[in-house]
Amino acid sequence: MKFLVLVTLVAAAFGKNLPNQNARISKMVTSHGYPLETYRVTTEDGYILDLFRMPHGYQNKDQHDSQKPAVLLMHGFLSCCEDFVAGGPSQGLAFYLADQGYDVYLGNARGSPYGQHHTNLDPHKDAAFWRFSFHEIGVADMAAIIDKVVSISQQNKIHYVGHMEGATVFYILASQKQGYNNKIEKMVSLGPIAYLKKSPHPILKKVAENYKSKSWVIKNVGMSTFNPSSELTSEAENQCTEYEQTEQICHNDYFLFNGYNSKNFNETTIQHVIQRRPCDGSVRQVLHLAQMKETGRFESYTYPEKTDAYKYDLAQVSAPVAIFYTPEDAFSYVDDVETLAKELPNVYKKEVKSEYTNNLDFLYAENIYKFYKYVADSFQDDERKSSRNMLY
């Protein structure tokens, strides 16, 4: 009932598109007998983001919320929180953690389908809405979302799971606003992206070679939202075909950008994902990645003609970090992940999961529940050793 009332209030404020959008993820979760609550988060620069909560699993309904550790799941580029529920209870990380007794929160970045509202800007009319890189998502979106989760859960500290760029934005936040390290119990990075110097990613390499040419960017990357040309994606499409992936995958920009060389995809899950990907992303997000590829540094975004980018000081990321990555991912390449791990001061676990091919396997592989146990186990040491401090 609370969910229905909240959706009605949201409809009155923002029109018809939002409840229809939220109805989709509601169906993806509640149709399996799991609860879903909806919250709104407004960032310091006016972006309005949807935050979803699964307060309990299918069978652990009686456990009081304040007794449960909270965990925030954050998606990567061209995606949204649906990543963590797309496979249903047998494949989705959110379902698994809810059933294991966690209070689960599904975050959404600006520009995603659940992050296309603003106090002043219209994403369909105002190019200014899309003038953001991963920096703004880190320092503004993640700060606001974490504050909201801490408030709702009544926990001093929460767990955080970031998939690909979902890890990137956490490193940005924790290095720029160091106080947020104190709000994190454990941070788990799934295929983290920070350093990109060694990445053989065909699309990223091509953008890095040309991103200082405004005319080339407009033609091949887009004006405001990422709209890649066939020239930009052709090499990735050819490689995808060589891996004998389906035409649906090889013509889908989400997979071409985030990974298509998997040998482990669950075909049922992939069919659900293809229907909803790619989500929108900004041109500046792509240019931010290309800039880091070209400079070899994990650094802030700046205009191509300027030289005022600054390196993110990963020594300031004091939260405990676990890193899981795959041996054949073209984006978070093994050598670059090793560089990242050496700069983070509090890495308590680092594992190459050789049974998987690329980082999308962490979401969509067959029998992925075996891996989710590693994620949950990486949290549980602290919970066995100490009681939790409540805010209220």
For the four alpha carbons of 211, 216, 220 and 224, in that order, the dihedral sign comes to: positive
- Interval 204-252: pLDDT, tens: 999 999 999 999 999 999 999 999 999 999 999 999 999 889 999 999 9
pLDDT confidence bin for 8, thresholds 50/70/90? very low
Domains of the chain, start order: 2-196+313-385 (3.40.50.1820)
C-alpha 249/C-alpha 241 separation (Å) is 9
In sequence order, what are the residues at sequence separation of 6 or more whose Cβ sits closer than 8 angstroms to the Cβ of residue 76?
83, 163, 164, 165, 166, 193, 258
C-alpha 148/C-alpha 226 separation (Å) is 29
162: left (phi over 0), alpha (psi -120 to 50) or beta: beta
The pLDDT value given to residue 63: 63
Four-point Cα dihedral 288, 289, 294, 297, nearest 10: 90
pLDDT confidence bin for 11, thresholds 50/70/90? very low
CB-based contact 215:359 (threshold 8 Å): no
Residue 381 has pLDDT above 70, yes or no: no
- Mean pLDDT is lowest, of 129-138, 275-284, 379-388, for 379-388
Chain centre to alpha carbon of residue 107: 8
Structural tokens at position 64: 């009081």
173 by Cβ neighbours in 10 Å (0-12 / 13-18 / 19+) ranks as: buried
The pLDDT value given to residue 166: 98
Percentage of residues in the chain having pLDDT higher than 70: 91
The pLDDT value given to residue 88: 94
pLDDT confidence bin for 59, thresholds 50/70/90? confident
